[in-house]
Amino acid sequence: MGTTKSQIFTAQQNELATILKVLANPARIAILQHISCQKDCICNDIVEEIGLAQPTISQHLKELKSIDLIEGEISGKRVCYCINQKKWQDIGALINNFFKTTYINCC
């Protein structure tokens, strides 16, 4: 598969594609749902809830952090994860705007 020529697309198109690529994994969706229901959440809690290996969960958390959708606060030897509410709202607005402004004019 060839590389994407991201420079020919708008910044908004590239940002939306990056976000959707990160979200396009059911484990990450499950992690977000779990974190959103907790006051605070550490990796081992997520491992127990989701049922994937700790290194796999850590990799998914890394991907979610790469788009700033989650934040991690160090507490001793643990990292406590939570939803970055500002970014959550920004992503929601970006996706909503995409659906509102993209019209279906096909046969």
Distance CA 91, CA 97 (A): 10
Task: Report pLDDT digits (tens) over 59-100.
Answer: 999 999 999 999 988 877 788 899 999 999 999 999 999 998
Domain of residue 20, residue span: 10-95
Provide the β-strand partners of residue 41: 81
Domain for residue 4, yes or no?
no
Looking up residue 91, the CATH number of its domain turns out to be 1.10.10.10
SS3 (DSSP) at 88: helix
- Look at the chain and report how many structural domains it folds into: 1
Look at the block and give the residue holding tokens 């420079």. Answer: 7
The mean of the pLDDT values for the chain is: 89
Angle at 64 between CA 60 and CA 68, to 5 degrees: 160
For residue 31, which of 4, 8, 67, 59 has the smallest C-alpha distance?
Answer: 59
